[in-house]
Structure 1
Amino acid sequence: MKIMVTGTAGFIGNHLALRLLERGDEVIGIDNLNDYYDVNLKINRLARIKDHAAFTDVRLDIADRAGMEAAFKKHRPQKVVNLAAQAGVRYSLENPHAYIDSNIVGFINILEGCRHNGVEHLVYASSSSVYGANESMPFSVHDNVDHPLSLYAASKKANELMAHTYSNLYQLPTTGLRFFTVYGPWGRPDMALFLFTKAILAGKPIDVFNYGKHRRDFTYIDDIVEGVIRTLDHTARANPDWSGGKPDPGTSKSPWRVYNIGNQNPVELLAYIETLERFLGKTAEKNLLPLQPGDVPDTYADVEALVTDVGYKPSTTIEQGIERFVTWYREYYRQ
């Protein structure tokens, strides 16, 4: 299978591309190596896959309309996984235009490329952030998600709506995956686990928002990648029982689906930090702070739809995942 993966220098995209190559797929990797965080980390991720005979490295911004049109026409992927995006809730308060450029303009370029080049299935990254002000736990794909609390969340909700339009108009099968707090080796430096590890090893205090009472459905990278691949191989189909009289937000009469992809086991942030302290062998000095604007207090994924449709079953415990991350971090940064 020839698969286009956007964001192959990113955290999830790099792990996914490696797994696809290992199973024998051809991967067309799209990434612009932007400087949102350490470019060297992105380059080193790419080093894990760039010399593979079945990997093609395309240096391109998905917001580049002409460039994306050319890439689709040249490489003719059978399936596409769009993971390139401007990420981060807090950064969306500082630089909102970056989210429109990448997450909206870039996504329409992906949809158009799929439409005009006979792509069989588009899988794309959404986010647990779309649940916004929803306080019903666990979050279900059958819940309404019309009240985002950040521009990042709004852009991901927009992606789901845009995808539905193309599924309806052009019968393009699309599947959105609402990721829940992904962590693990080669992770993003702006994520809590990375920030905490760096600060604790340096003997510096860590900022703990919402006084550590956050509950997050932390999901290990290998479990995420397994879910993405299973979803990619299971082309989205119309729901024959879908009714316009009482529409289901998670399915459609068109070949469109959205799924939660999480661990289905939320952990309080303070407990997460305590586990990290144990594997680092050091205790953190904590600055306990209030909830940040745009953040949600808790995330908790109902993944039953993904279990039913593709057999998704996360298996990595928090202890296993954090231990593997700490081992990688010490080796990578020689600490």
Structure 2
Amino acid sequence: MRVAVTGGCGFIGSHVVDRLLAAGHEVLAVDSADTHLNPGAEFARLDILDLPGLTRALGGSEVVFHLAAMADVEQVTADPVRAVRMNVDGTATVLEAARRSGLSRTVLASTVWVYGAARSEPGLDGEEQELDEHAPVDLDRSGHLYVASKLAAEMLVHSYRDLYGQHFTVLRYGIPYGPRMRDELVIARFVQAALAGTPITIAGDGRQTRNFVYVEDLADAHVRALSPAAQDQTFALEGSTAISVRDIADTVDRLLGPVTIEHIEARTADYTGRRISAAQAKRLLGWSPKTTFTDGVGRYADWYRAGNPGATR
């Protein structure tokens, strides 16, 4: 199958391209830079808002994976207008280019951050019930602009299906980590601080949790999402174990320490983590994460120490 990947030279996108090529697909990487370009893929250097250029580039493909977005929440906060253009207008541009080019499906990269806006009821034990892809969203709880932009992008793919018959798959990523991740991401910052012998800083009390997903496990889900079973479905690609920020620091300390830990003020509207089910991905796609957190952090540290280029994108 011939597939396109927007953001195909970025952190997650480059791993998706790698895995698609390994599975025998023809791949077009669409990006504004060739930072992590796999030489086995075709490359189109394009602005994601260039509708005529994107329409031409997608011609001949069957599916487009739309990963290009502003994903750094600090950048979203600093430049909200550009964030909306990238994450909302960019999604509309990809959907329209896919429609004009006759693609069968658009696979949208979303995030478990959207569950911060989900409503839930307490279970019999008084604790919050596990959330799945059908959890209703309360717009009053959308909080961070990044969440709002991703919810808007998800709404667009549903509208394009209803109006134009354009099929979709939504992949709500758990918090990804691994080789090629941005230096600003928490695991990268902690590992690099430990290797440099500088203190690790934790925003808030460090009890906020994430279900991290190793990037190669995440990329595997994209290949599986080409299955007909994934059409018009949403999948939470959540990690199997809740890891607190303090757990990250302790893991880095065990692998690379000893390290010094300092606490700073918590971030505004940070995603605090919720119990999210990945059962649908396992049931329909046969997917579940395989890499343990300690192994994944160790692999990233090995990659970083090996001096791999482009580690900041």
| TM-score higher than 0.5 | yes
Of 296, 299, 310, 1:324 maps to 299
Change (3 A) 1:207 1:139: farther
Deviation track 1:115-170 (CA, whole Å, cap 9, x = no partner) reads 12221121110011112254745332121223222111111000110000011112
Of 185, 190, 208, 1:191 maps to 185
Deviation track 1:66-89 (CA, whole Å, cap 9, x = no partner) reads 3212323xx321111011101122
Change (3 A) 1:302 1:168: same
Paired residue total: 299
Of 273, 280, 287, 1:312 maps to 287
Mapped contact 1:279–1:326 kept (Cα < 8 A):
no
When structure 1 is superposed on structure 2, of 296-305 and 83-92 the one drifting more is 296-305
- CA distance in 1: counterparts of 2:226 and 2:184, whole angstroms: 28
Once the 2 structures are TM-superposed, how far is the Cα of residue 178 of structure 1 from its aligned partner?
0.8
> Does 2:197 correspond to 1:203?
yes
Mapped contact 1:210–1:297 kept (Cα < 8 A):
no
Q: Percent identity, aligned pairs only?
A: 31
- CA distance in 2: counterparts of 1:113 and 1:84, whole angstroms: 14
Pairs within 5 Å for 1:122-271:
122-134=106-118, 136-145=128-137, 146=139, 147-234=141-228, 236-237=230-231, 256-271=232-247
Q: What is the CA RMSD across the aligned residues, in angstroms?
A: 1.8
> Does 2:82 correspond to 1:107?
no
SS in 2 for 1:124: strand
| One-letter identity of the residue aligned with 1:234 | P
- CA distance in 2: counterparts of 1:274 and 1:168, whole angstroms: 48
- CA distance in 1: counterparts of 2:241 and 2:116, whole angstroms: 19
Once the 2 structures are TM-superposed, how far is the Cα of residue 14 of structure 1 from its aligned partner?
0.3
Once the 2 structures are TM-superposed, how far is the Cα of residue 106 of structure 1 from its aligned partner?
1.1
When structure 1 is superposed on structure 2, of 292-301 and 90-99 the one drifting more is 292-301
TM-score by length of 1: 0.84
1:242 is aligned to none
SS in 2 for 1:263: coil
Of 46, 52, 57, 1:60 maps to 46
1:4 is aligned to 4
Unaligned runs of 5+ in 2: 121-127
| One-letter identity of the residue aligned with 2:306 | E
- CA distance in 2: counterparts of 1:309 and 1:125, whole angstroms: 18
2:252 is aligned to 276
TM-score by length of 2: 0.90
- CA distance in 1: counterparts of 2:254 and 2:135, whole angstroms: 37
Change (3 A) 1:328 1:137: farther
Mapped contact 1:121–1:232 kept (Cα < 8 A):
no
SS in 1 for 2:44: strand
1:116 is aligned to 100
Unaligned runs of 5+ in 1: 34-41, 238-255
SS in 2 for 1:58: strand
- CA distance in 2: counterparts of 1:296 and 1:63, whole angstroms: 28
SS in 2 for 1:125: strand
| One-letter identity of the residue aligned with 1:148 | S
| One-letter identity of the residue aligned with 1:289 | I
